[in-house]
């Protein structure tokens, strides 16, 4: 029996601050917990380009989290009218596969 592929749930990013510890806002509740690692994927059309950047997060709200990513020197995050959506997804998920 083949094991299912892991396909993490993606969340649309609506904002990222320019800060020492960037704050990310998602369109809907993300369900993450502090100290998790996520992957940020932000196309060049958003100004701030993050190409599969992994970072540790601290949850600050249902749709927000801060991360260990210094974005001060980057272009501002601006949602373009069209194109690929910026998104975030967990790097891995916890799976209990210990035999009992």
Decide if 1 is inside a domain: no
In sign, the C-alpha dihedral spanning 7, 82, 21, 41 is: positive
Tell me the pLDDT band of 83, cut-offs 50, 70 and 90. confident
Decide if 64 is inside a domain: yes
Decide if 57 is inside a domain: yes
CATH number for position 17: 2.40.30.180
Greatest mean pLDDT among 4-8, 22-26, 31-35 lies in: 22-26
Decide if 55 is inside a domain: yes
How far apart CA 39 and CA 56 sit, in angstroms, is: 9
Q: Reply yes or no on whether the pLDDT at 30 is more than 90.
A: yes
Q: Reply yes or no on whether the pLDDT at 53 is more than 90.
A: yes
Q: Where in the sequence is the domain holding 28, given as residue range(s)?
A: 11-90
Domain count, the chain: 1
- Mean per-residue pLDDT for 76-94? 86
Decide if 98 is inside a domain: no
Residues 68 and 23: beta-carbon distance below 8 Å: no
Q: What is the pTM of this model?
A: 0.84
Decide if 95 is inside a domain: no
Q: Reply yes or no on whether the pLDDT at 46 is more than 50.
A: yes
């Amino acid at each position: 029996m083949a094991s299912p592929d892991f396909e993490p749930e993606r969340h649309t990013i609506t904002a990222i601050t320019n800060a020492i510890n960037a704050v990310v806002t998602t369109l809907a509740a993300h369900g993450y917990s502090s100290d998790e690692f996520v992957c940020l994927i932000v196309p060049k059309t958003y100004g701030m380009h993050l190409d599969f950047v992994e970072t540790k997060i601290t949850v600050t709200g249902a749709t927000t989290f801060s991360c260990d990513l210094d974005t001060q020197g980057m272009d501002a995050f601006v949602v373009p009218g069209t194109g690929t959506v910026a998104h975030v997804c967990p790097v891995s998920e916890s799976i209990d596969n210990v035999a009992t």
